[in-house]
């Protein structure tokens, strides 16, 4: 057999056509999804929406949908399907795309609010560091009194007070023996 010799003649082959979408119900394979390796395999009456969140949009609208497997990822000798988007009935395609757009807008808004919250937190920490004088050579005036002690603190003596039965220079804290 030659290396590029076709197994079948062109007249002996036909394109794979899945069953059409009927009453908004998209046909599934035995794994519960639809294999769409080329655009011609999308069922008649259906539309492929290749976004990240069309499943959520179809669930919000209560529309029947099927996950689309567009290929496989081979890693560590294991083939994992690549699921990219969904197929819905063509009459619901625009509605699903509009909801997907709204979900993306809401996600972007949430990311912006989170960024603002983190900036506010960072600025608050920066103000505290500035007030405490951390990171600079200056000592803040309000934190210390004129004698160099912090207000509201008592100085403890570094010498330990010896108890009656303890000898000077003994080790062990005076208990036991």
CA distance 142 to 132: 9
CATH code for the part of the protein at 10-103: 3.30.70.2460
The pTM assigned to this predicted structure is 0.61
Element (DSSP H or E) covering residue 68: strand 65-75
For the segment 80-106, what is each residue's pLDDT rounded down to a tens digit? 989 999 999 999 999 999 999 999 999
What are the extents of the domains in the chain?
A: 10-103
Q: What is the token pair recorded at 165? A: 């039965």
CA distance 31 to 28: 7
Stretches in the chain below the pLDDT threshold 70: 1-2, 135-177
Cβ 110 vs Cβ 45: under 8 Å:
no
């Amino acid at each position: 057999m030659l290396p590029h010799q076709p197994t079948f003649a062109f007249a002996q082959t036909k394109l794979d056509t899945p069953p059409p979408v009927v009453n908004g119900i998209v046909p599934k394979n035995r794994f519960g999804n639809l294999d769409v390796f080329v655009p011609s395999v999308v069922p008649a009456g259906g539309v492929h929406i290749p976004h990240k969140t069309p499943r959520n949009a179809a669930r919000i609208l209560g529309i029947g949908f099927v996950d689309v497997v567009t290929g496989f990822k081979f890693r560590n000798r294991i083939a994992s399907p690549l699921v990219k988007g969904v197929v819905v009935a063509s009459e619901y395609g625009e509605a699903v795309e509009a909801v997907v757009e709204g979900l993306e807008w809401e996600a972007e808004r949430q990311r912006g609010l989170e960024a603002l919250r983190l900036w506010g937190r960072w600025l608050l920490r920066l103000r505290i560091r500035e007030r405490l004088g951390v990171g600079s050579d200056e000592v803040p005036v309000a934190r210390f009194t004129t004698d160099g002690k912090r207000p509201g603190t008592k100085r403890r003596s570094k010498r330990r007070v010896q108890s009656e039965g303890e000898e000077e220079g003994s080790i062990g804290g005076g208990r036991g023996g």
